[in-house]
Structure 1
Amino acid sequence: MQTCKIYNASGNALPAYESATAAGMDLRANLAEPVTLQPGERQLIPTGLFMELPEGYEAQVRPRSGLAIKHGITVLNSPGTIDPDYRGEVKVILVNLSDTPFQIQHGDRIAQMVIAQYQHVQWQPVDSLEELSETERGAGGFGHSGKK
């Protein structure tokens, strides 16, 4: 398990894994007063968290399934990426896709964060498409495998 430095200016509990095999940790809103997301509106919600991720790791900010299915609230740039050299406050872009206003209070769980390892690649330019290996899938995408 990696160690990650974190500063918490929110007064909320630190993000934590809620079960032994959970991949994500909930992020909570850090608000001086409630925020209401009107239908179709998006807002940047602060968490009060500042962190130093180890090199080779990123934090992915993702929607919470309960907020999405029950209220139509989701993370707009999902997944949002927090790079290991970022030192600013972690904030979440939320959008209300429902037809009902939604209020966010200080301490509400607004998103989940997954810490993931990544690698850099080095590009090897080729002169033609024929130099790319063929696969069974080929260029099929966007629903090419069918609905059922």
Structure 2
Amino acid sequence: MTVLKIWKTHPNITIPKHQTAQSACFDLAFQGAGKRDYNGYSHMNKPFARPMGAAISIAPGERVLVPTGCIMDIPEGYSVRLHARSGTSLKQGLVLANAEGVIDSDYVEEVFVMLHNISGNAVTINQGDRIAQAELVKNVEYTLEETPARPLHKTKRQGGFGSTGITTKENMVVINIPETKEVKVETPVKRGRGRPKGSTKKK
């Protein structure tokens, strides 16, 4: 079995673990033990450094580097991918500012989670709160080389980004509906047996 080794930056750091036997990812928590401050950027892209405490408050639009207290010894041929947690994103509006974090095996520094508050309210996270999930991924070895010919179409896809969701003449289905002639239908008037009241009989 492949082993991902983790070194703690402080004795009070808790090593992450899988929550269930079949979990593909393990959770990373906010652990700032031994840190004096934390860094981030405001919604106006102004950098800031704030004192580290038992909790971190992230204002709307801010991006913050949240420490995990973990340094990973990733096996060669693997990488670790950081993903947002579903509940944290839905309920609090905290997502990863870089969409997905990629940690290569030759990175041997502390892992920080780049959180972005996309909600309209300030969000507070406490020490020990789970803020992201991490996944050990096996890399595919490949090389890059120039090709002398432009790649040909491999499927019916035409166009660029988002082209598969656009209706064009090529993928439009036309249904011909035969013309119908307007038919005027007259409703027959029912005639009574007797004459209307007030009528007189001609002599």
Task: Normalising by structure 1, report the TM-score.
Answer: 0.89
Query: Does the alignment pair 1:102 with 2:123?
Result: yes
Corresponding residue number in structure 2 for 1:90: 111
**How many Å separate the matches in 2 of 1:110 and 1:35?**
12
Corresponding residue number in structure 1 for 2:30: 29
**How many Å separate the matches in 2 of 1:116 and 1:30?**
24
Q: Is the 8 A contact 2:65 2:115 kept in 1?
A: yes
What letter corresponds to residue 57 of structure 1 in structure 2? Y
Corresponding residue number in structure 2 for 1:2: 2
Corresponding residue number in structure 2 for 1:58: 79
Corresponding residue number in structure 1 for 2:164: 145
**How many Å separate the matches in 2 of 1:62 and 1:142?**
24
Task: Normalising by structure 2, report the TM-score.
Answer: 0.66
Residue 23 of structure 1 deviates from its aligned partner by 1.0
Q: Is the 8 A contact 2:157 2:163 kept in 1?
A: no
Query: Does the alignment pair 1:80 with 2:80?
Result: no
Corresponding residue number in structure 2 for 1:136: 155
Q: Is the 8 A contact 1:25 1:112 kept in 2?
A: yes
After TM superposition, the structure 1 stretch with the greater mean CA deviation from structure 2, 40-49 or 137-146, is: 137-146
Q: 1:118 aligns with which of 131, 139, 148?
A: 139
Q: Is the 8 A contact 2:30 2:66 kept in 1?
A: yes
**How many Å separate the matches in 2 of 1:125 and 1:45?**
40
Residue 12 of structure 1 deviates from its aligned partner by 4.1
| Structure with max Cα Rg | 2
Corresponding residue number in structure 1 for 2:90: 69
Please identify runs of 4+ aligned residues in structure 1 that moved more than 6 A: none
**How many Å separate the matches in 2 of 1:124 and 1:137?**
26
**Higher relative contact order, chain-length normalized (CA < 8 Å, sep 6+):** 1
SS at match of 1:36: strand
Q: Is the 8 A contact 2:77 2:105 kept in 1?
A: yes
Residue 22 of structure 1 deviates from its aligned partner by 1.2
Shift in alpha-carbon separation, 1:109–1:137, aligned structure 2, 3 A: farther
Task: Report the RMSD for the aligned CA atoms in angstroms.
Answer: 1.8
SS at match of 1:47: strand
**How many Å separate the matches in 2 of 1:139 and 1:41?**
39
Corresponding residue number in structure 2 for 1:16: 17
Unaligned runs of 5+ in 1: none
Q: Is the 8 A contact 2:71 2:109 kept in 1?
A: yes
Unaligned runs of 5+ in 2: 33-51, 167-203
> Percent identity among equivalent residues?
34
